[in-house]
Amino acid sequence: MLNEEKKRRLCLQCLECCKILAVPIELKYADPESIAFYVNRGCWLATLSGGRLGIVIPFQCPHLTPEGCNIYENRPLACKEYDGTRDPLMSDKCLWIKKNRKGRNNDKNIKRSRHITKKT
Ligand code: SF4
Ligand code: SF4
């Protein structure tokens, strides 16, 4: 398992989960015409946590900066509680998952930052 400090450092190399917005939809609304509407606008269909279907919209949170979240101490509870290892949307991106898969702690290549401001 990764400790909180390691998670923070990994997040600063990634920042991917603050760049999308996922909107759950009912299966009956996922007809080809509707899906085409979203896809033609840069969105995509994905399985969300809990097995729900969702439209994923590229949307970068206005609080995201190159140094991480600029309201880190006061970020919403959903951001504080977010767990990248449980989010199917992030399974191919989240560095927490990739790091855990390696099964060993090798932090030599993790950039250190004095501005640890990203979600834990
Ligand atoms: S929680 Fe995962 S997906 Fe989100 S910024 Fe951190 S490493 Fe990236
Ligand atoms: S408030 Fe901060 S942690 Fe939450 S999505 Fe925005 S940048 Fe990310």
Map residue 89 onto helix, strand or coil. Answer: helix
**Token pair listed for 11:** 């997040």
> First CA to last CA across the chain, in angstroms?
13
Residue 15 Cβ < 6 Å to ligand 2: no
Is there a contact between 9 and 110 (Cβ–Cβ < 8 Å)? yes
Which residue's structure tokens are 């990248």? 84
pTM of the model as a whole: 0.76
Instruction: Report the residue among 4, 8, 17, 116 best suited for mutation to probe ligand 1: largest number of ligand atoms under 8 A from its CB.
Output: 17
pLDDT at residue 5, as a whole number:
86
pLDDT at residue 103, as a whole number:
59
Q: In angstroms, what is the span from residue 98 Cα to ligand 2's centroid?
A: 21
Is there a contact between 118 and 71 (Cβ–Cβ < 8 Å)? no
Residue 8 Cβ < 6 Å to ligand 1: no
Per-residue pLDDT of the chain (120 residues), as tens digits, is 678 888 888 998 899 999 999 999 998 889 999 999 999 999 999 988 788 899 999 999 999 998 889 998 899 999 989 988 888 889 889 999 998 887 544 444 433 333 333 444
CA distances from 46 to 20, 82, 113 (A): 12, 18, 33
Element (H, E) at 46: strand 44-47
What angle in degrees, to the nearest 10, is found between the helix axes of 4-14 and 95-102?
A: 120
pLDDT at residue 88, as a whole number:
87
pLDDT at residue 19, as a whole number:
96
